[in-house]
Structure 1
Amino acid sequence: MQYQEALAYLYDKLPVFHRIGAKAIKPGLANIEKLCAALEQPHTRFKTIHVAGTNGKGSTSHMLAAIYQAAGYRVGLYTSPHLKSFTERIRINGQPIPDEEVAQFVTTFQALIEAVNPSFFEVTVAMAFDYFARKEVDLAIIEVGLGGRLDSTNILQPLLSVITNIGWDHMDLLGDTLDKIATEKAGIIKPQIPVIIGERQPETTAVFLKKAEEEQAPIYFAQDSFLCIDKGILTGKRQVEVLYQSLNSESLIALMLTIDLLGQYQLLNLPAVLQSVFLLQQFPVSTEQLQNGLASVTRLTGLKGRWQVLRKNPYVVADTAHNKPGFESLLAMIPTIQHRQLHLVIGFVQDKDVESVLALLPTSAKYYLCQANTPRALAVHDLFIKAVAAGLQGQVYPDVNAALASAVAEASAEDLVVVTGSTYVVAELQAL
């Protein structure tokens, strides 16, 4: 097979979450265990950090990858979903897996895929593990797809487990309370393997403490150890002062960091990143390497869609916020950008709690409603009805690019335009 044939085979043959949602999920580890057994257990042939959480796990994974790349290691990075190309999901030192590697994997293991009958996600996880093993990465950062306990990445025995935070998302699959959702995420905690919790939350702390105790896993709440103070954006990058306690004394150490991820919400992800790097002495990182990695995350890893500035005058940004916690962080960021009028280009998928998100949005903004080209997309006319019910005024557009073009045409040079609501909406931006 050629690359396009292989990709078409995967999409046509296997259930794909971003097309059909929850029906694509095949919970449990049986399929990935069968795949990895046939591939000679590739996931046991390299070291890993396993990253879960409701929001921030993608940014956290990319920041970790950038830091270890800056420190000179050969770093694998597995994330999902992709924005522009399937190959974005599997990277080594920021370079996507070559098309021919994807084609070769599918061609070689087509019979295995048909015998196991896995999901699309399970095959991509197996492909990533096989690629990282064959290319002999020093360390791989592996992002959980959904949940944790039953996610196919949970076959790993990592050096560290990281859980960024717990919020309201995928309640149909993970549970209708934060402690139930936390229980699913806590499923990545392994016997005697340290776990880092990014944000200490009253509803979930006890869940993590109990699971860590059961597994005899050392547990660290990163926000207790690292205080990150926003110093604003200077020369196009966010400046952060970090205060933490020295391991050798009770004195506080101040560390200045420059981060090229502009979203203020990245300060919530940063403590878990720093705790991971400071804890994982098997892969030492100097202060200079840490600073260099965080200053160049997008260049080193190819990360897109996190408060990504597309143009100025008007100021246009794209952000993949797609659930209530994500929007709360996004809306906290907007007042930090000086602007006259806010324009929101927005679309959602069907299985999100759209009403709760719309209730957060300012009625003073101008709305440009659209939908992504995926069967999971919330029809734009249905979104219009929900928006009107929430007191929001807007126009309907067939796709995100038409919506953005209209927003830019209507906006003055002093206005702010934000494209958001769904990873799939942002992915279709021609300007991304």
Structure 2
Amino acid sequence: MNYKETVKYLFSLLPIYQRIGKAAYKKNLNNTIELDKFFGHPHKFFKSVHIAGTNGKGSVSHFLASIFQEAGCRVGLYTSPHLKDYRERIKINGIEIEEDFVVEFVKRAKPVIEKIKPSFFELTVIMSFVYFKEKKVDLAVIETGLGGRLDSTNIVLPLVSVITNISFDHSEFLGDTLEKIAKEKAGIIKPNIPVIIGEKKKRTFEVFKNVASEKKAPLIVASDKYKVDYVTELPNGYINLNVKDYDGNTVYKNLKSSLKGQYQIQNIITSIVTIETLNEKYKLNISRNDLYKGYGTSAQY
């Protein structure tokens, strides 16, 4: 099969939500674990940041990937869905996975595909993990597809987990209340691994607090640490903003983001706190200059 035939195969023969709906949703990680085993547990060969949420997770993922690249890292980025080309889902340093890799991966996976009949999403997640392993990324930013607890990405053991915000999202799978949805998203919280919560909301925060407590995971609320008091849109379409702490100190002045819109404000704060947490806990030494440059180039991702 060539690339076009391979992508057609992925979409037409494997269960996918957009085509068959709820039947594509697997209520366990068994297939993902089996695929991971078949390929030699690729998720264990790179460091990661794991991101869930109803809105904002894509922007936060792109912000972080851009900042990590500015810091000199070889950065994998897994996101979904794609807009035009399947390869948009899997990138290293902003460059999409090669068509040849997609074709060869599916050939390699044929025995396990025929055995367990994984979903489109399950196979794509493992493809990204194999790609990141074989291309030797330093760090991968992994965005969940749906929910968190049972999402195929949830086999990773990240440096930090990030949950952006919660609203009604795929209620037929995740639950019909915000609390139930939050519980599913909180499934990405790992024992003793810091978790960043983007926004504190009354109906969902207790869920995150309780799960983090049970797992002894340090919990940091981004919106409790910083706020934005000045925003303007520049002639080039970028937004320019000042980030302050709650003592009134300007911590980041004239921070410019190439991802546009007022709604990006909380995503910027969430990603700043994530970078600071990584620096504090793991000594990644991501500089302020890396951070400023990363926001400026994030739209390229």
Tell me the TM-score range normalised by the shorter chain.
over 0.9
Q: Provide the rounded CA distance (Å) in 1 between the counterparts of 2:250 and 2:232.
A: 20
Q: Provide the rounded CA distance (Å) in 1 between the counterparts of 2:230 and 2:17.
A: 36
Map of 1:108-187 to 2, 5 A cutoff?
A: 108-187=108-187
Partner of residue 291, structure 2: 290
Q: Provide the rounded CA distance (Å) in 1 between the counterparts of 2:16 and 2:136.
A: 29
Asked if 1 retains the 8 angstrom alpha-carbon contact of 2:149 and 2:187, the reply is: yes
Map of 1:50-61 to 2, 5 A cutoff?
A: 50-61=50-61
Distance 1:21 1:230, change over 3 A: farther
What's the CA shift for 1:151? 0.5
Partner of residue 252, structure 1: 249
Partner of residue 244, structure 2: 243
Asked if 2 retains the 8 angstrom alpha-carbon contact of 1:26 and 1:118, the reply is: no
3-state SS of paired residue (1:51): strand
Q: Provide the rounded CA distance (Å) in 2 between the counterparts of 1:103 and 1:12.
A: 15
Q: Provide the rounded CA distance (Å) in 2 between the counterparts of 1:287 and 1:229.
A: 20
Letter in 1 for 2:251: A
User: CA deviation digits over 1:76-117, x for unaligned, max 9?
Assistant: 000000001000000000000010000000011111111121
Partner of residue 268, structure 2: 270
3-state SS of paired residue (1:49): strand
3-state SS of paired residue (2:77): strand
**Pairwise CA RMSD of aligned residues?**
1.2
Asked if 2 retains the 8 angstrom alpha-carbon contact of 1:61 and 1:141, the reply is: yes
Q: Provide the rounded CA distance (Å) in 2 between the counterparts of 1:108 and 1:30.
A: 19
**In terms of Rg, which structure is larger?**
1
Letter in 2 for 1:46: F
3-state SS of paired residue (2:203): coil
Count of residue pairs the alignment pairs up: 296
Letter in 1 for 2:290: Q
Q: Provide the rounded CA distance (Å) in 2 between the counterparts of 1:296 and 1:20.
A: 37
Map of 1:220-231 to 2, 5 A cutoff?
A: 220-231=220-231
Asked if 1 retains the 8 angstrom alpha-carbon contact of 2:242 and 2:250, the reply is: no
User: CA deviation digits over 1:119-167, x for unaligned, max 9?
Assistant: 0000000000000000110000000000000111011110000000000
3-state SS of paired residue (1:44): helix
Asked if 1 retains the 8 angstrom alpha-carbon contact of 2:240 and 2:257, the reply is: yes
Q: Provide the rounded CA distance (Å) in 2 between the counterparts of 1:187 and 1:254.
A: 32
**Runs of 5+ consecutive residues of structure 1 not aligned to the other structure:** 302-432
Letter in 2 for 1:270: I
Partner of residue 2, structure 1: 2
Asked if 1 retains the 8 angstrom alpha-carbon contact of 2:228 and 2:265, the reply is: yes
Asked if 2 retains the 8 angstrom alpha-carbon contact of 1:6 and 1:107, the reply is: no
3-state SS of paired residue (1:229): strand
**Runs of 5+ consecutive residues of structure 2 not aligned to the other structure:** none
What's the CA shift for 1:243? 1.0
Map of 1:320-339 to 2, 5 A cutoff?
A: none
Partner of residue 49, structure 2: 49
Higher helix fraction: Structure 1 or Structure 2? 2
What's the CA shift for 1:12? 1.7
What's the CA shift for 1:171? 0.9
Asked if 2 retains the 8 angstrom alpha-carbon contact of 1:71 and 1:289, the reply is: yes
3-state SS of paired residue (2:15): coil
Q: Provide the rounded CA distance (Å) in 1 between the counterparts of 2:290 and 2:68.
A: 8
Q: Provide the rounded CA distance (Å) in 1 between the counterparts of 2:93 and 2:229.
A: 29
Q: What percent of counterpart residues are identical?
A: 48
The structure with higher relative contact order (CA 8 Å, sep 6+) is: 2
Q: Provide the rounded CA distance (Å) in 2 between the counterparts of 1:280 and 1:171.
A: 33
Instruction: Name the TM-score, length of structure 2 as normaliser.
Output: 0.96
What's the CA shift for 1:251? 7.9
Partner of residue 14, structure 1: 14
